[in-house]
Amino acid sequence: MPQYTPPMRDMQFVMHELLNVVDELKMLPAHADIDADTINAVLEEGGKFAAAVIAPINLSGDAEGCVLDKTTHEVKPPKGFKEAYKQYVEGGWPALSCDPQFGGQGLPHLVNQFFYEMLNSANQAWTMYPGLSHGAYEALHAHGTPEQQATYLPKLTSGEWTGTMCLTEPHCGTDLGMLRSKAEPQPDGTYKITGAKIFISAGEHDMAENIIHLVLARLPDAPVGSKGISLFIVPKFNVNADGSLGSRNGIFCAGLEHKMGIHGNATAQLVLEGANGTLVGQPNKGLAAMFVMMNAARLGVGNQSLGLTEVAYQNAVAYAKDRIQMRALSGPKAPDKPADPIIVHPDVRKMLLTARAFAEGGRMLQGYTVLQLDKALKSDDEEERKDAEAEVALLTPIIKAFITDNGWLATSHCMQVFGGHGFIHEWGMEQYVRDARINMIYEGTNTIQSLDLLGRKVLGNNGATLKKFGRKIAAFIEEEGTNEAMQEFVNPLADLGDKVNKLTQELGMKAFGNPDEVGAAAVDYLRVVGHMTFAFFFAQAAKIALAKKDSGDPFYTAKLATARFYFAKLLPETATLIRTCRAGLAPLMEMEEALF
């Protein structure tokens, strides 16, 4: 069975040495009293919960899956899931970053994000049950009426109730303008909602006493397309005026999806038959409200793959140090054994270092972005809030797509390290690969994220936000320009920054002539920009490691080696990607449809 050790040392490096989060957070009134000891203590306890409580039920939960009783429409999660959730609630973990007004602890989102990385490493399928609740909380916190907030937010904060997001229907996924679920107004101001939703993660279970579904549906007079979508709260059990639970609502699980991975999570087909609902926000403005939840989920999905990358790497390293096969080409490295441990072989090291670099780069990017999210939510400086919001919007599709693409590559590499054993369930590696694959699909496929980055976040404002982020990179390059020891990191970063600027301008000009050029280049473009962000953070990490390489702490030696590997072996991928971006639309559209 796979093992998991929370990567506390690297998390502390990212928070306290790379990002100086305490100093940054102290500038925000809500977090003026935060200190490193508190952050570290919370995460150390969170790591213990992840490793000791939910990691041991990951492999068994995958094998067992969820069971639907078609008579009662109730779903039983795998053995141990409900008991683990009870411990999670009793520990106060759902409330970490929630508003104290509703019973939350008011800690920075950054702390919650690092905690959830560990949960995802330990057990992604389990983590999705409480994870969806955060998105529902955020949507209602931003758009709910005072009455809705008073009714639902304390229960979501405590974890007594969980939440879902109900968007997709059998005939429409990303294109929500096509959805058909209907909401009929009632005399008392509520709505009767009828329709069908599919792919609803954590859509039915008995781990909490109520499930709060946020459902997209159309009013009778709604305009066609995405401008006619409204958002509704549809609880599994109706909630009485005094907050107690009432009758069973008309929303039921009609089936569970049979999936490639995340077997322990109940991915439900939900049927609404005149279910009672209340409107969130304004009529026909539901998509804007739902985007609050979707954006939180996109950061969360990136975090899922980061978690899987880390745990897959840990287990692959342990196996590579123990498994002996063949001799090193340069001669025996373990002459007292019949063969050398496979970690001596260069290509095994390449696979391991790829996973390590993707984990460390993803952790730096996630940490930085969620720190900006805390500023966007809590700063009392309007300009700082707006700048932070824009930067989070720019980096969110990169986190969702780049980190999940990397997670797929990394878990596959780590499975390969195990050879034939990696293909066997009991070792756990093939589960990480299967679980990682969904992360590239849901919450907007990675192609959708790429279109969002290039078409909306970059070209949509003539590159203004990207240029502002680029100026941070340029300032770092200028600062380190005369530091001889940093040239191996600064020079390729500067070169890539120049190429991204030129590529962006070129694609913008092409898009004026034919908007489909954006679709032809977007996926490769996002990967180029993703590498640029990783290179920026690895260069900063290398600067810190160089300053402390003689400290006697092997952590900095390893950090420097990982940074060098990233720049030498992974960053050069951008040269190919830039060429394929420039190849344009024609090679994709030349063949007639009939010839496919």
Which residues are the active-site residues?
Answer: 443
Residue type at 473?
I
Query: Whose CA is closest to 157, among 231, 105, 113, 82?
Result: 105
Taking the C-alpha atoms of residue 170 and residue 197, their distance in angstroms, rounded to an integer, is 7
Encode 426-448: b = buried (16+ Cβ within 10 Å), e = exposed: ebbbbbbbbbbbbbbebbbbbeb
Going by DSSP bridges, is the β-strand pair 210-217/230-235 parallel, antiparallel, or unpaired?
A: antiparallel
Helix (H, G, I), strand (E, B) or coil at 109: helix
Give the CA diameter of the chain: 84
Please give the distance of CA 489 from its chain centroid, rounded to a whole number. 27
For residue 222, what are the CA distances in angstroms to 214, 265, 279, 286, 381? 18, 34, 14, 11, 38
Taking the C-alpha atoms of residue 321 and residue 352, their distance in angstroms, rounded to an integer, is 11
DSSP for 141-200, please give it.
HHH--HHHHHHHHHHHHHTSEEEEEE--BTTBSS-GGG---EEEE-TTS-EEEEEEEEEE
Taking the C-alpha atoms of residue 275 and residue 279, their distance in angstroms, rounded to an integer, is 13
How long, in residues, is the chain?
Answer: 596
User: Where are the strands (E) in 236-340, listed by range?
Assistant: 237-239, 245-248, 251-256, 268-280
> What's phi and psi for 76, nearest 5 deg?
-105, 120
Residues linked to residue 565 through DSSP beta bridges, in sequence order: none
